[in-house]
Amino acid sequence: MTIRKLRVIALICLDMIVITLSYFLAYVLRFDFKIMNHLNYAYAIFKALPIILLIHLALYLSLGVFRSLWKYVSIEEALLLTISTVVANSLASMLLIIAHFPLIPRGVYIIATILIIVGTIGSRVIYRYLRIQRKSANKNIKSLIIGAGDGGYFLLREINSNPMYENKVIGFIDDDRGKIGRFINGVKILGTCDDIESIVNNYEVKTIFIAIPSAKKEELRRILNVCQKSNVRVRIMSIAEVKEFNKPVIRDVSIEDLLGRGEIHLEQDEISDYIENKVVCVTGAGGSIGSELCRQLLKFKPKQLICFDINENSLYDLQQEIEIERRKNKYYLDTEVIFLIGSIRDLNRLNYVFNKYNPNVLFHAAAHKHVPLMEDSPREAVKNNIFGTLNVVQACIQNKVEKMVLISTDKAVNPTNVMGATKRMCELIIQAYRNNGVTKLGAVRFGNVLGSSGSVIPLFKKQIESGGPVTVTDPEITRYFMTIPEATQLVLQAGVYANKGDIFVLDMGIPVKISKLAEDLIRLSGLRPYEEIEVKYVGLRPGEKMYEELSLGEEIRHKTKNDLIFINEPMDIQLDDLLSKINQLETIMYKDLPLEKIRHELLETIK
């Protein structure tokens, strides 16, 4: 016999005992404990009890009372038990009267019904309470939940019932002062966010959970900044996954939660006009920006999405991810997604792909982007970024692609390194071909992207996990930051406006000190910077600047309809002059020159 069947038999036996005791207790209560004068009614109950039990058992089984898990007993189970008991006792009383059984007073039926409801529900509640208490004995990480609403209650139940959590919730935090002093499932609401630091110290709290699904980015950042002062681990209930799995999914707070600007409002109709039912190609599709572009593009229902990349591993990962999501019906299933290996250095390969699939729109994200690496390999940076971009532009024009958008970088502004110089040349190529009469061209320029491969965030996380030190180049160095989804969404919006070599600049917000970023990441890990994790300053790397810029001094900037996107008027770049400079670079690439000489010639070319 299986454990499940034994469990059901045990539940049946327990409920039958509760029903039996309830009837005899109802008899005692009905006659105010003076039972010796009314023994005939005790005999009547004793004789009718088998029928009463059979009716209860049949109704409980038919309504699925014993299929409910006691550890999840809730209002629904209590209501089911109440209805089942009322109906069962009503049927039993009518059947016994029709069958001419000895009369049982109506008061006994009424009192017994109440006692059975209390007894059956009470036994389940007691079981659940004892189970939670037994599990709580092993939970020793004192924790707070911020948010004494539905989200907080939902999370508390999950923490208490799930053995994976070793957390013991000792209190709630909520900014609604009217809730302070009240209880949720026996846990007290201790104070507001302003009281967090003192509550953490007084109760020796180790972890704080944030359970406010409705919180906007500004409110979330305010709460996180308060929590950081307490040097405890902070975790957050993931909103999207709560909706998807109908249970709270907890994740560590990310730096994106601190720096991200939340939902970006896009002109959906405008983007759909140039994406929906069109053939769209993304070069560098396996990279951080390229892969996110592919994810975002699928939401706009292109006819075909061509994912083009030289890196087979990253392209394979993207392919598997998209296939898994499509099986969940997450992405538009009528879009044909094509994964192609190829290099933008190979003009023949580009022409073959463009001629075969006839893309309407192309997003050019393929590039070598790592500053220190490109300082040591300037020839490869020039071949890939400059010659590759020229190939893409020429292939677009030759194959009548309607629109091409280049992904650029703030390092292209007054560049001091090889990578920045090559990306500036890419912008110049876009502007030089602005009057081609076939393909509308544009470039989108933005700063660092949080979490992209090779960025500072993954590096800091690895250093923290290994115990430090966290290495920062300079205490005063600053960078612009944007999350990957923010950047790609704005790229799609900028694509609406792309026309004649326009350079679009994204509003990157306020520059962030890298040293503060490192300190924030350490605190988010529940550690104290400079005490538990060392922050070490190692000096600027080759080609690095102390700060980045978003526009050249001579560029004229205008606002677009989107407040987060600006447009720089295209500069008067002559195509013949540009091609001459590129030819000079090509000649230099194959000469046996020192690396420093190549870097110098490259920087001179873009002046």
- b/e 37-63 (16+ beta carbons within 10 angstroms → b): eeeebbebbeebbeebbebbbebbeee
Distance between CA atoms of 488 and 568, rounded to whole angstroms?
A: 19
**Neighbour-count burial of 161, counting CB atoms closer than 10 A to its CB (0-12 exposed, 13-18 middle, 19+ buried):** middle
Check if the beta carbon of residue 166 is closer than 8 Å to that of residue 139.
yes
Provide the annotated active-site residues. Answer: 411
Among 374, 378, 495, residue whose Cα is nearest residue 442: 495
Phi-psi region of 581 (alpha: psi -120 to 50; beta: other; left: phi over 0): alpha
CA-CA distance, 21 to 404, in Å (whole number)? 81
In degrees and rounded to multiples of 5, residue 465 shows phi and psi of -60, -35
Judge contact between 359 and 280, C-beta under 8 A.
Answer: yes
CA dist 15 and 23 (Å) reads: 12
Rounded Cα gap, residues 522 and 533, in angstroms: 7
AA identity, residue 110: I
Give the C-alpha separation, 99 to 413, whole Å: 97
Q: In terms of residues, how long is the chain?
A: 607
- Tell me how far apart the alpha carbons of residues 15 and 43 are, in angstroms, rounded to a whole number: 22
Phi, psi of 28 (to 5 degrees): -65, -45
The Cβ-side half-sphere exposure at 97, using a 13 Å CA radius, reads 10
**To 10 degrees, the CA torsion angle through 184, 187, 188, 194?**
-100
Contact 483, 260 (CB under 8 A): yes
Instruction: Show the tokens assigned to 270.
Output: 């405008």
Element (H, E) at 29: helix 3-30
- What is the distance between the alpha carbons of residues 545 and 548, in angstroms, rounded to a whole number? 7
d(CA 342, CA 424): 24
Q: Cα–Cα distance between 233 and 254 in angstroms, integer?
A: 12
Burial class of 156 by CB neighbour count within 10 A (0 to 12, 13 to 18, 19+): buried
399: number of Cβ within 10 Å: 20
* Alpha carbons 451 and 471: distance in angstroms, whole number: 17
Cα 137 to Cα 18, 134, 159, 203: the distances in Å are 30, 5, 13, 17
Which amino acid would we find at residue 529?
A: P
Q: Residue 405's closest CA among 435, 438, 432, 430?
A: 430
Residue 530 tokens, joined: 């400079």
Q: Could you tell me the CA-to-CA distances from 113 to 39, 93, 394, 397, 595 in Å, in that order?
A: 21, 11, 85, 83, 92
What pairs with residue 124 in β-bridges? none
